[in-house]
């Protein structure tokens, strides 16, 4: 007797205009699609990293994803179709997802777009030789480090975060936490600069 396939829910974006950070995942995993919440994989450290980095003021979990806009954060995915792994995604899905993401950023204007995983960065910004619009031929994948990128999306700064999935054995938890803390510092420094400009305008 065949097993009945689990019910997979479409995950709704958690976005509103004027967010401090829009987090972008690659696509929902099966566990997230089953429960209807973002980053719900059993081994995913995203929510723990949000709290321990100081981005949110209290411990949170995947059931809190709809509350993130209250703290100035949003979540979306590059590809909406849930899969057991990114190897099941197709090139046309990445292209469609890129167009959709740029439209979301253009519409909602977050202060920072945080790409949750280096795979997303490579999908959005394929390497090209100078003066050539075709993808570059390289002997291996580009080395991309977490942190603020020189790239932007519709004029919005891009910050690269490590993939917090338990399948990511490339970085330790402490290294992941360091990247999330760097994002928290960047967001906080931006708020301080904006407050300083406001005070100067008021004083003048």
Q: CA angle 50-89-161, nearest 5°?
A: 25
Question: pLDDT per residue over 77-109, tens digit each?
Answer: 999 999 988 889 999 999 999 999 999 999 999
Task: Provide the pLDDT for residue 107.
Answer: 96
Task: Provide the pLDDT for residue 6.
Answer: 57
CB 60 within 8 A of CB 47: yes
Residue 196 has pLDDT above 70, yes or no: no
SS3 114: strand
Q: What is the mean pLDDT of the chain?
A: 85
178 half-sphere exposure, CB direction, 13 A CA radius = 8
How far, in Å, CA of 93 to CA of 113, rounded? 20
Query: For residue 32, what are the contacts with CB-CB under 8 A and spacing of at least 6?
Result: 11, 38, 39, 40, 41, 62, 82
CB 57 within 8 A of CB 31: no
Task: Provide the pLDDT for residue 191.
Answer: 60
Question: pLDDT per residue over 72-83, tens digit each?
Answer: 999 999 999 999
Q: Domains of the chain by range and CATH?
A: 21-125+142-203 (3.40.470.10)
Task: Provide the pLDDT for residue 197.
Answer: 38
Question: pLDDT per residue over 109-160, tens digit each?
Answer: 999 999 999 999 999 998 754 444 444 444 555 678 899 999 999 999 999 9
Task: Provide the pLDDT for residue 100.
Answer: 97
H or E, element range at 76: strand 73-77
Question: pLDDT per residue over 12-35, tens digit each?
Answer: 999 999 999 999 999 999 999 999
């Amino acid at each position: 007797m065949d097993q009945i396939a689990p019910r997979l829910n479409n995950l709704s974006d958690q976005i509103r205009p004027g967010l401090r950070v829009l987090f972008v995942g690659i696509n929902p995993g099966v566990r997230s699609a089953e429960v209807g919440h973002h980053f719900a994989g059993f081994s995913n450290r995203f929510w723990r990293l949000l709290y321990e980095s100081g981005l949110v003021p209290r411990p949170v979990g995947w059931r809190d994803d709809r509350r993130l806009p209250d703290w100035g954060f949003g979540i979306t995915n590059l590809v909406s179709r849930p899969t057991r792994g990114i190897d099941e995604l197709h090139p046309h899905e990445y292209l469609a997802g890129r167009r959709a993401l740029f439209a979301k950023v253009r519409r909602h204007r977050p202060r920072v777009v945080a790409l949750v995983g280096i795979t997303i960065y490579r999908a959005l910004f394929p390497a090209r030789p100078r003066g050539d619009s075709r993808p570059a031929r390289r002997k291996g994948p580009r080395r991309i480090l977490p942190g603020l990128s020189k790239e932007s999306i519709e004029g919005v700064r891009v910050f690269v975060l490590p993939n917090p999935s338990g399948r990511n054995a490339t970085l330790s938890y402490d290294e992941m936490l360091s990247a999330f803390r760097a994002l928290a510092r960047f967001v906080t420094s931006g708020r301080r600069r904006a407050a300083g400009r406001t005070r100067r305008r008021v004083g003048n």
